[in-house]
Chains A and B, each alone.
Chain A
Amino acid sequence: MGECPLLEAIFVQIDINEYERENEYRKLIENYEGKAEHLLAIMQDVQKQYNYLPRLAIQLISDYVGTPVSRVYAMASFYKAFSLVPKGRYVFRVCDGTACHIKNSETLLDRLYQQLGIKAGETTADGMYSVETVNCLGACALAPVMVVNGKVHGKVSPGEVERIVKEYGGQNHGS
């Protein structure tokens, strides 16, 4: 993990291969009128599609909406929904809302670390798995909760983590 993801991302040059996707990006972006009030929605759609905001897409969004790149970056780094680096194919999101926290969601992270070799906020080197914590998913009655690519696993005991990781083929990934 770098010191400042924002700085790192700004200095990233647009990879020449990214231009292959230019039309895909444009199609997503041009679903909206190019008004400033649609900036957030456009960025969310791109994030949803690619699991991060590609450097070229940011450039295109900035052109389309008519706002400086710096402002798109400001938004991207301010809101939690956005990532400037690619996420793994499978994202394990451990809820750390209060109800999950006092039911020891932290031990789930311990188990994920044992299985995948990564901590919250990290992605495995092969780009397959990411682990994140999220604030609250509003499923407090099922605490502790873990969501993998949108699938909710409720009342997860530490022992079950291995089985869930196995579902996505990631057992003993870290070792």
Chain B
Amino acid sequence: MEAKVYKDDRQTVLVCCGTGCTANGGREVFRAFQKRLENHPEMEVLPVIKATGCNGWCEKGPLVRLMPRDITYCSVAEKDVDEIVDKTLLEGVLIKRLLYRDPVSKEHLTSHHLTDFYRKQHKIALRNIGEIDPGQINDYIEREGYQALKKALQDMDGQAVIDAVKTAGLRGRGGGGFPTGSKWQSCRDAKGEPKYIICNGDEGDPGAFMDRSIMEGDPHTVIEGMILGAYAVGATHGYIYVRDEYDLAVQYLGQAVKDARQQGYLGSNIMGSELSFDIELVRGGGAFVCGEETALMASIEGRTGEPRDKYVYPTEKGLWGKPTIINNVETWANVPVIILHGAEAFAAIGTEKSKGTKVFSLVGKVVNTGLVEVPMGTTLREIIYEIGGGVLKKRRFKAVQTGGPSGGCIPASLLDLPIDFDSLTEAGSMMGSGGLIVMDDHTCMVEVARYYVNFLAGESCGKCTPCREGIRAMLEILTDICNGKGKLEDLQLLEDISATMQEASLCALGRTAPNPVLSTLRYFRDEYIEHIENRFCPAGICRELTTFYIDPEKCTGCTLCMKSCAVNAITGEKKQVHVIDESSCIRCGECYRTCNFDAIKLARRDRHEN
């Protein structure tokens, strides 16, 4: 699969221009290279989108890769451009200070492919990210792009495409894990014309950004997947519903659709065949519930995005009452690979019931943050410790949250769980879109539950009572507990409300909304009890329950905490013990997290005040 976009005799500079690197000045570096290399027609400069977060390097971004030697430079600034051109491009000398230094071995690595973070991954959906310029259709074509479509049109009929997707065992990557092939089959068999194809790019889970990365970094794979879907079920029109907040994704997808049309991959008689199919882009309005398929379709139709009950599936009556397939971005990105390289090859990866790979966005209190694509069945420990490099600042691992607001928190005791759709559901969480948020002992689990419920309170559409009122009631209870006004019987009440919501809510948003609460109650009940009985937040997060003081034995008078304090509540001379003035302290905990000597201590607020 290692086709090259660069020609062997030409030096190519790939500058990461993804959201992360752009924030650090990637565009400026790109322009500086362009300007400097104007007089060197033997080299070319390509702007390349990299998955934001690759190895946590976007913090050290902008990233520059030099091909064909495969050299990766980190933290490149505009002023480094001349040196890179003179030394590395023209003379072939490496610039050591711009290379990545492995934190364990202390070695300078010439390419990011050599790091643990990359070596342990298996890329299918992300196969082109960072390797191609998403604005150039020819880059995609040179890496086997639109070959799957060609193969399908020449050698397969629509049913054969569906059979391949079924044999591959592909399941929806957006959350539920519904078998994609069965979905397509029922749409193909449904009566009604025209049929529609939708790509769900309304990635709403906070903490997940793989869909953004794919839409930004490899828009044509999504388009090719959709065309294959259209061929399989006989659809003529498609929509990509993308979050309006994702500026770059909107831009590159729009460009890609235009280019695909121009080259005859979209429109009438695609590649000289009978197939006619076109795609329109719809920008989402910023409503989490629109990730739910029936709500999303209502939104495309120009209505408020409220879901409906699904006694009839969208595959029979979907968009404008016509048979519709709706799949998530990552699912579509897998389809061309399945068709081109064969269903068996895909099915050979993963676990018995979850085939292929899954992209996770590994974020939070972990050393290497970024997108990680691994075979289904990889354990949490492998992802967090071997790929992610462990917990930040070597703190204690407390939990990992998966599945966004519909998912749950998984404790350290389950770190060796091989993760796939079913194992996560059994653990009381969910695959969701694949967010993995690592939490350490400075994270309060009650507050995390409150955070998700608060998020959902703002996003529940309000159409059905169990969700609308249930979430509100849960939020009140959780806020009380965080403020030290909780009662022990509240825990039972939370469970009762949850049970009703799971049973009676209209859509998946309401049915899964209790997961963050139930999973934290299941694995971290003692923390709830600590909040209620002892009025203490062990993580030092809940401000009403916490106060901070400085241990005079441990304070070295380094003044770091003093500088970190927003309200100047800390006083003390250099090399003398510092003191926190409780009356002006706002309990933000910044000093507690900043101190390198463990000198700032937590105490119960009422105890200390009395």
Apart from A99-B206, A102-B437: 7 A-B pairs, beta carbons within 8 A: A43-B285, A96-B206, A107-B588, A111-B566, A141-B56, A142-B20, A158-B564
Binary contact track B363-394/A, C-beta < 8 Å → 1, others 0: 11100011000000000000000000000000
The smallest C-beta distance from A141 to any residue of chain B, in angstroms, reads 3
Binds A, one of B240-248, B418-426, B496-504: B240-248
| Cβ–Cβ < 8 Å partners of A141 in chain B | 20, 52-53, 56, 58-59, 363, 369-370
Closest to B289 in A: A78
Binary contact track A137-175/B, C-beta < 8 Å → 1, others 0: 111111100000011111100110000000000000000
CB-based contact B287/A78 at 8 Å: yes
User: How many angstroms between the C-alpha atoms of A140 and B22 in the bound complex?
Assistant: 14
| Cβ–Cβ < 8 Å partners of A82 in chain B | 285
CB-based contact A138/B285 at 8 Å: no
Binary contact track B281-293/A, C-beta < 8 Å → 1, others 0: 0111111100000
CB-based contact A154/B20 at 8 Å: yes
The smallest C-beta distance from B451 to any residue of chain A, in angstroms, reads 6
| Cβ–Cβ < 8 Å partners of B52 in chain A | 138-139, 141-142
Closest to B23 in A: A152
Q: How many residues of B contact A (CB 8 A)?
A: 63
| Cβ–Cβ < 8 Å partners of A134 in chain B | 245
Q: Is B580 interfacial (CB-CB < 8 Å)?
A: no
Closest to A96 in B: B206
The smallest C-beta distance from B214 to any residue of chain A, in angstroms, reads 11
Q: Is A56 interfacial (CB-CB < 8 Å)?
A: no
Q: How many residues of A contact B (CB 8 A)?
A: 48
Q: Is A97 interfacial (CB-CB < 8 Å)?
A: yes
| Cβ–Cβ < 8 Å partners of A41 in chain B | 282-283
Closest to B283 in A: A44
Binds A, one of B125-133, B298-306, B309-317, B526-534: B298-306
Binary contact track B551-566/A, C-beta < 8 Å → 1, others 0: 0000000000001101
CB-based contact A154/B23 at 8 Å: yes
A-B CB proximity, top 9 nearest: A141-B53, A79-B285, A80-B286, A97-B206, A138-B209, A152-B23, A136-B206, A98-B207, A99-B363
Q: Is A35 interfacial (CB-CB < 8 Å)?
A: yes
Q: Given A135-B206, A141-B58 in contact, is the A101-B369 Cβ separation under 8 Å?
A: no
The smallest C-beta distance from B436 to any residue of chain A, in angstroms, reads 10
CB-based contact B588/A36 at 8 Å: no
| Cβ–Cβ < 8 Å partners of B361 in chain A | 140
| Cβ–Cβ < 8 Å partners of A74 in chain B | 304
Q: Is A40 interfacial (CB-CB < 8 Å)?
A: yes
For chain A, residues 31 to 82, give those with C-beta under 8 angstroms from any C-beta of chain B: 35-41, 43-44, 65, 74-75, 78-82
Q: Is B19 interfacial (CB-CB < 8 Å)?
A: yes
CB-based contact B285/A98 at 8 Å: no
Q: Given A40-B302, A136-B204, A141-B59 in contact, is the A78-B285 Cβ separation under 8 Å?
A: yes
CB-based contact A104/B593 at 8 Å: yes
CB-based contact A75/B304 at 8 Å: yes
The smallest C-beta distance from B543 to any residue of chain A, in angstroms, reads 9
